[in-house]
Amino acid sequence: MLHDVNQRKVEAACQDTLRQLGNGGLNHGEVLLALSESIGRMIVHSCKTPIQMQEMANIVGQHIARTLDAGAQAKGFRGTNEGE
């Protein structure tokens, strides 16, 4: 990554977003679209070339996939490849 990542700050940002959902300030669709837009803008801002942008997008996508897999397992599925 281009920057050191403080896991506590990542967790705080996640909790802030979830609080917004919980208090009715935003709905799931608004949060997902806003996060996607923000991720794209941050990638463009922090990368110097389109190749770097694509690589960063791949890293983010892989992290999302791992998060989904962990969440699916926490819900009792074997992972995100398992059906309903």
Domain boundaries, the chain: 1-46, 48-84
- If you average pLDDT over residues 26-46, what whole number do you get? 90
pLDDT for 14 = 85
Question: What mean pLDDT do residues 42-64 have?
Answer: 95
List the Cα angle 30/48/56 in 5-degree steps. 50
Helices 28-46 and 7-22: crossing angle in degrees, nearest 10, is: 150
Instruction: Check residues 80 and 74 and name the one with the higher pLDDT.
Output: 74
Q: State the pLDDT at residue 53.
A: 97
CA dist., res. 68 & res. 51, Å (int)? 26
Rounded-to-integer distance, Cα 1 and Cα 65, Å: 17
Average pLDDT over residues 47-70: 95
Residue with tokens 């281009």: 2
Mean pLDDT, rounded, for 46-75: 94
